[in-house]
Amino acid sequence: MTFALNQEERMLKDLVARFVREELMALENKVLARDAAGEGMAFTKEEQDRLDSRSKELGLWGLDAPEEYGGSDLPVTTMVAVNEEMGKTALQYRLPPDSPNLRMLMRVCNEKQTRQYLEPYARGEMKSAIAISEPGGGGDPAAMKTRAVRERDGWLINGRKIWISGVDKADFVILMAVTDAQKGARGGISAFIVDQGTPGFNVLRKIPMIGGHSTFEIALEDCWLPATQLLGEEGKGFGPMQLRLSTRRVQIGAWCVGRAQRALDMMVEYVPQRKTFGVPLSDRQAIQWWIADAATKIHATRLMVYDAAEKVSRGEEARTEISMLKVFATEMATEVIDHAMQAFGAMGMTKEMPFNAMAGHLRVMRIYEGPSEVHRMLIARHVLQKRF
Ligand X SMILES: Cc1cc2nc3c(=O)[nH]c(=O)nc-3n(C[C@H](O)[C@H](O)[C@H](O)COP(=O)(O)OP(=O)(O)OC[C@H]3O[C@@H](n4cnc5c(N)ncnc54)[C@H](O)[C@@H]3O)c2cc1C
* Catalytic positions: 369
219 makes contact with ligand X (CB under 6 A): no
Candidates 66-74, 79-87, 149-157, 372-380 — which segment interacts with ligand X by CB under 6 A?
Answer: 372-380
Q: Which is nearer to ligand X, 207 or 303 (CB)?
A: 207
- Least separation in angstroms between residue 144's CB and ligand X is 9
Amino acid at 78: T
- Least separation in angstroms between residue 53's CB and ligand X is 26
Task: Find the helix or strand (DSSP H, E) in which 310 lies.
Answer: helix 285-313
Which of 75, 364, 382, 388 is close enough to bind ligand X by CB under 6 A? 364
Which of 61, 93, 121, 163 is close enough to bind ligand X by CB under 6 A? 163
130-149: contacts with ligand X (CB under 6 A): 130-133, 138-140
Q: Are 272 and 282 contacting, i.e. CB atoms less than 8 angstroms apart?
A: yes
Nearest of 255, 247, 256 to residue 319 by alpha carbon? 247
373 makes contact with ligand X (CB under 6 A): yes
Q: Which residue is nearest to ligand X (CB)?
A: 138
Rg, C-alpha atoms of the chain: 22
Q: Are 228 and 193 contacting, i.e. CB atoms less than 8 angstroms apart?
A: no
Q: Which is nearer to ligand X, 313 or 372 (CB)?
A: 372
Candidates 13-21, 193-201, 207-215, 268-276 — which segment interacts with ligand X by CB under 6 A?
Answer: 207-215
Which of 19, 170, 370, 379 is close enough to bind ligand X by CB under 6 A? 370
367 makes contact with ligand X (CB under 6 A): yes
- Least separation in angstroms between residue 46's CB and ligand X is 25
Q: Are 256 and 329 contacting, i.e. CB atoms less than 8 angstroms apart?
A: yes
70 makes contact with ligand X (CB under 6 A): no
- Coil/strand/helix, residue 345: helix
Q: Are 157 and 192 contacting, i.e. CB atoms less than 8 angstroms apart?
A: yes
Find residue 225's DSSP bridge partners: 155
72-131: contacts with ligand X (CB under 6 A): 129-131
Q: Which is nearer to ligand X, 140 or 283 (CB)?
A: 140
CA dist list (Å): 299 to 3, 98, 147, 261, 268: 12, 26, 45, 10, 16
Candidates 12-20, 63-71, 187-195, 363-371 — which segment interacts with ligand X by CB under 6 A?
Answer: 363-371
Report the half-sphere exposure of 351 (CA within 13 A, side-chain side): 15
DSSP secondary structure letter of residue 316: -
Q: Which is nearer to ligand X, 71 or 100 (CB)?
A: 100
Q: Which is nearer to ligand X, 138 or 354 (CB)?
A: 138
Q: Which is nearer to ligand X, 161 or 262 (CB)?
A: 161
Amino acid at 359: A
Q: Are 122 and 70 contacting, i.e. CB atoms less than 8 angstroms apart?
A: yes
Q: Which is nearer to ligand X, 139 or 187 (CB)?
A: 139
Compute how many residues bind ligand X; rule: CB under 6 A: 22
Amino acid at 13: K
213 makes contact with ligand X (CB under 6 A): yes
For 182, other C-beta atoms within 10 Å of its C-beta total 8
**DSSP-derived pairing of the beta strands 275-276 and 189-195:** unpaired
CA separation for the pair 356, 362 (Å, rounded): 10
CA separation for the pair 343, 345 (Å, rounded): 5
Nearest of 155, 145, 218, 201 to residue 178 by alpha carbon? 145
215 makes contact with ligand X (CB under 6 A): yes
377 makes contact with ligand X (CB under 6 A): yes
Candidates 17-25, 296-304, 324-332, 364-372 — which segment interacts with ligand X by CB under 6 A?
Answer: 364-372
Q: Are 192 and 233 contacting, i.e. CB atoms less than 8 angstroms apart?
A: no
- Least separation in angstroms between residue 138's CB and ligand X is 2
371 makes contact with ligand X (CB under 6 A): yes
Q: Tell me which residues touch ligand X (CB under 6 A).
A: 129-133, 138-140, 163-165, 209, 213, 215, 364, 367-368, 370-371, 373-374, 377
